[in-house]
Structure formats: structure tokens, C-alpha cells
Amino acid sequence: MRSFDIPGHYRSGLIGRLKAFRKAQDPRKQDLSPTLLDLGAIRFVLARHFGFCFGVENAIEISYRALEENPGKRIFLLSQMIHNPAVNDDLVDRGMRFVQDTEGNMLMDWDELSSEDIVIIPAFGTTLETEARLKAKGIDPLRYNTTCPFVEKVWKRSDQLGDHRYTVIIHGKAIHEETRATFSHTVQKAPAVVIRDMKEAELLGRIMVGQEPLATFEQVFRDRASEGFDPQKDLDRVGVVNQTTMLATETQAIADHFKEVMRAKHGDNDLKAHFADTRDTLCYATNDNQDATNELLKAEADLALVVGGYNSSNTSHLVELLEQRFPTYFIKGAEEVLSALAIQHFCYPDKRLERTEGWLPARRPLTIVLTSGASCPDTILDQVMLKVLGLVEHAKDPAVAVQELIA
């Protein structure tokens, strides 16, 4: 896989060395066991895979290149380039401005844009309607297009489903910019509907087989379905794609559920005419990070720290997995570690910050699971680890421990 030219301040001197060591040991990524960094009084259990993925590094490289190639020009980010505040803040500090927020609400007037301006498409992609609006302004939306190749893969698969007259069921968060982009591309060729989770999949399945009235579709799904969507006709031949940052296991379970619904309705002999196998749209990085997080669940630890942007979907799913077993704190950076007595962290279901007292156990050695989302720089994990180390007496120098581990 290609390497990317990203700014040095995103490269880690501690976590990065451990990741490089594991990669050299296991280039084919067969070993998902975590890395134990033993610092004596405290131990960190690090996931095999975490942090920047291919799509994020690609987006960062393109965004910083746009700055280098266009001195003196106005450069805009259509919305947050990736869902990490440290990266987005750094780009803003270098002169970039946001056109929209992550839900598509305007942060400036379209009339402020001119053909002389540069607008960067985020890693999540954007809608065809927005692309057309930029082109009408004389702006080439693809000049600095950071759309993740794995998101584009989903769009291509949706096109194929449409070519074969399947309806596309999108597993995603309807308000998320990637799902909005996928929906926009999909409806060019196929009817489409967005579902959030297995509960909604089961409800839609009951509508398919007539166990729920069509009025239920109107109440629950109409505002997430393509124009003119006819549930009686359009739910008889389906395929599933996903927002790439969703839980991969849940996407697969949802696809399997619809397969069984169609099997029950049409029988084995006619199954392929009513259900398309689309497991090839699952993002490799999402799979790797989630598989590695599942391996963390086997560890013995006192708590888990998950680092990433609070609006990062993939990060919230790592939290969802880890909190099944450990007290888990979702933080955006070292500044959230207030003291040995208190930590500020994000409650993702309620979308609010919480403060927990007595979060750091007094027992020694203390074991902490540490991982991050796909848009979080490893340097931020370094900072978190060092901040926690500063709260624990008699811990070993992490640089020495890393060197001993990789020697």
C-alpha cells in the first residue's frame, strides 16, 4: 500500500514506533493481538490497528498540498475534512474556511464563493447536488477531491445494483455526510432507503413480508427514502451497502437478515433474483480497527481510553465495543484528562460531555486499554499516554520501554 506525505507534526515518536514494529513483524496483518507496553506502575494495552487509515492520510495529503500549491488564494473546506478537531483546527489556522457544517447547514453564503476560489471535498464525499452547485460557480469540485476510495467503492457498487434493478438499502446515519453523499449518488440509478440499525432492519423486513402495514413505512422511513419510493414494489429486490464507518459486523448481520427475509418470502431457488450479496463494500480499515478492538476485549484491564473527534462515527463504535467490558472514556485529547481525580469525556448516545470523578483506580500496576479512531493522529495518543503517566508515580520512561520492546 502506498505511503502518504503528511505533515511531520502528525507523526508519533512513541505510538508510531510501536505500530511500525508490529507492521514489520506482521506485514500481512494476520496477528490481531494487542501490544502491551509495560511501564511498571502502569501498563498500556494498544490495539493492533488504530489511527489514520488510507482514506484519512489521502485526505490530509491532498489538503496540505492544496495549501502549498495555491499561496495567496482563498481555500475552503466544503465541511470538516475528517472528523478530528485537531486536524481541522490546524487547517483553519493555516487560512482555510468551512463552507458547511457536517450536517450540510451553510456556514457562509454561497454568493461569497467565486470561480477563483478552491473548495476541497471532504473524505466522506459530497452530494451530486453540491457538486453541481460548485460547478455552477465555476469551481472544479474534483480538483482537490479527498473522497475516500472506499466510499467511492460503495458508490460504484450502488451503481451496479441500480443497473441490475435492485433497490439499495443503505446502513448508515441519515444525517451523516457520507450517508447523504451515498444516497445522492445511489438515487441516480436506484430506489434507496436509509436504515440506522438492526432494529430498523427487522421493522423493514416485517414490512416486506406483510407483517407490518405499509403505513409503517410512511411513518418511519419516508423521509429517508428516495422520491417516489414504492415499498410494495421497491422492497421486492434489494441489496445492502453501508456508511463505511458503521459497525461492519452489524452491516453484515443486516444484510444476512434481509437475505433470510427474501428466502422466507421467495424460497431458495429464486433467492438471487431478490437479494444481491454486497459484502464487498465493507471498508478494510473499519474491519481491521473493529476486529482489533474485539481482540482488546480479551485483555485484563482496569479501564479503556478511546481517543477521537466527538462527531467521529467510527470512533463511537469502538467505544460501543469496549464499554461492553471496561469502564470506557471517549476523549478528544489529553486536555480531557483533568487530573487523577477527574476526567471529562463524551457520552455519544446523548451527545454531551460528562465529568467522572475517581476515574483512575489506585491499584498498581494499573492497566489501561488505549486506542483511537481512524481520523485521530498518533501524536494525540502520545499526548494522552504522557498525560496519564504524569499522574502515576514510579512509571518507567516510555521512550526507554518502547526501545526495549522493539529492540
What pLDDT, in 10s, does the model give residues 90-112?
999 999 999 998 888 899 999 99
pLDDT tens, residue by residue, 329-378: 999 999 999 999 999 999 999 999 999 999 999 999 999 999 999 999 99
C-alpha–C-alpha distance, residues 377 and 372, integer Å: 9
Distances (CA, A) of 299 to 21, 24, 106, 308: 21, 23, 45, 22
| Residue spans of alpha helices (H) in 240-346 | 248-266, 284-296, 313-322
| Residue spans of alpha helices (H) in 189-301 | 198-208, 214-220, 231-234, 248-266, 284-296
pLDDT of residue 82: 80
Contact 273, 265 (CB under 8 A): no
Q: Is the pLDDT reported for residue 11 higher than 70?
A: yes
Contact 387, 64 (CB under 8 A): no
DSSP count for the chain of H helices, then E strands:
14, 14
Domain ranges of the chain: 8-53+285-406, 54-136, 163-281
pLDDT of residue 195: 98
CA angle 364, 370, 374 (to 5 degrees): 175
C-alpha–C-alpha distance, residues 123 and 366, integer Å: 37
pLDDT of residue 338: 98
Q: Is the peptide bond before 141 cis (omega within 30 degrees of 0)?
A: no
Query: Does the active-site annotation cover 323?
Result: no
pLDDT of residue 4: 86
The CATH code of the domain at 54-136 is 3.40.50.11270
pLDDT tens, residue by residue, 201-243: 999 999 999 999 999 999 999 999 999 999 999 999 999 999 9
pLDDT tens, residue by residue, 292-333: 999 999 999 999 999 999 999 889 999 999 999 999 999 999
Q: Is the pLDDT reported for residue 283 higher than 80?
A: no
pLDDT of residue 89: 92
pLDDT of residue 1: 58
C-alpha cell at 155: 458508490
Terminal Cα distance for the chain, rounded: 25
Mean pLDDT, the chain, whole residue set: 94
Average pLDDT over residues 59-76: 95
CATH architecture of 8-53+285-406: 3-Layer(aba) Sandwich (3.40)
C-alpha cell at 141: 469540485
Q: Is the pLDDT reported for residue 280 higher than 70?
A: no
pLDDT tens, residue by residue, 164-186: 999 999 999 999 999 999 999 99
Q: Which of 177, 178, 320, 336 does the annotation list as catalytic?
A: 178
What number of residues does the chain have? 407
pLDDT of residue 249: 86
Contact 107, 119 (CB under 8 A): no
Handedness of CA 334, 339, 341, 347 (dihedral sign): negative
Percentage of the chain beyond pLDDT 70 is: 99
